[in-house]
Amino acid sequence: MVPVTERRQLFLDRSVGETRGVVMLRGRPERLLVERDGDPGGARLGAAYAARLRRADAKLGMGFLDLGDGPDAVLPLTALKGVAEGATLEVEITAEARADKGPAVALVGPAEGPAPRLLREPPSLAERLQAFSPRSSITRGPDAREAADLAEGQALATVHPLPEGGTLSVEATRGLVACDIDVGARTGSDAKRVGRAVNLAALVELARLLRLKSLAGLIVVDLAGRGHDAEALIRAAREAFHPDNPGVQIGGVSRLGLMEIAKPWRERPLRERLLDPDGRPSAATMALRLARALEREGRVHGGARLEARAAPEVVAAFDPLRAGLIERLGARFTLEPDPAFARDRLELAAR
């Protein structure tokens, strides 16, 4: 059981093929960092490159820089005054690529030598995790596995219960993050007071969930109820989103009961790492879940033989994990592909 404290707690789970880092606050996951063995290279937050200015587009007001790996990075032309196309520049990644958008960079200065090339590796997952709470120790082992599984489940969910009743839904669309606050079954003698309490609680949860899901950009919140206390809601939002500064902007409350929040992008959304475009867990995600499930059952059932079934695409994605799991459990498991299984269906049995 993950203990509940007021201080941020750090957890690092190393499973076969994947490392997950979790920041917990008051027993609830606030951030989830994921790295997988064999992840393709690409511009990660904090990395530095010697980049070549490939194109300066005056109409878009952007410069496009070749990093040598992945899509071009972008930089406002205002930072490139007097720089000619083809120049070599040192840049640092400030926002990772997402969907069809390239990474964003900050200009450090001119660079010498060949370009494009990587100048500085990004911080490791453990270093990034520690930076969220420098004085906290990092917990590993079963508690870390439990924290990471909890964080992943919440990161991929759409509807989230609020601590004292009501719900908050968070859905990313192409242009914005749509959020809806619902009083649900929460009751009280004063409907306006109930709505206010739910909205205030939901804004705190929303800030946490957006960090957990690595979502940003334009966030539109459909508040519960009517006759909102705009000043109180704006103060609550500023406090809740303070850890996401610099760059957070809190809009007012419209007559339709909508609040707008702008939060700068920094990391690739977790849903892009863990889900396919159809919104289902990818075959790689399911294969990693299967490996963890086999490891868990293997420890529970001692020397028992383990039998598992999964969709053929999941079995194929599992193949690179097989040797690592054998090192942990021994060769006492079998895995059969079943074309009738949906991708998100797994079956395990101990004999």
- What does the pLDDT look like over 41-93, one tens digit per residue? 678 999 999 999 999 999 999 999 999 988 999 999 999 998 999 999 999 99
Share of residues in the chain with pLDDT > 90 (%): 84
Measuring CA to CA, how many Å separate 325 from each of 119, 240, 288, 313, 328? 35, 41, 11, 19, 5
The structure tokens 């500023």 sit at 238
Query: By 3-state DSSP, what share of the chain in percent is helix, strand and coil, each rounded to 5?
Result: 30, 35, 40
Burial 68-92 (b: 16+ CB within 10 A, else e): beeebbbbeeeebeebeeebbbbbb
Measuring CA to CA, how many Å separate 92 from each of 44, 248, 347? 9, 21, 45
The structure tokens 């159809």 sit at 278
Look at strands 306-310 and 333-337 and give their pairing: parallel
CA 263, 19, 149, 145 dihedral sign is negative
Domain boundaries, the chain: 9-40+126-145, 48-120, 157-270, 275-350
- What does the pLDDT look like over 148-207, one tens digit per residue? 999 999 999 999 999 888 999 999 998 999 999 999 766 665 777 888 999 999 999 999
CA 245 to centroid of chain Cα atoms = 17
314 DSSP β-pair partners: none
- What does the pLDDT look like over 92-105, one tens digit per residue? 999 999 988 899 99
| CATH H superfamily, domain 48-120 | Nucleic acid-binding proteins (2.40.50.140)
User: In angstroms, rounded to a whole number, what is the distance separating the alpha carbons of residues 212 and 30?
Assistant: 5
What is the mean pLDDT of the segment spanning 275-284? 94
35 DSSP β-pair partners: 19
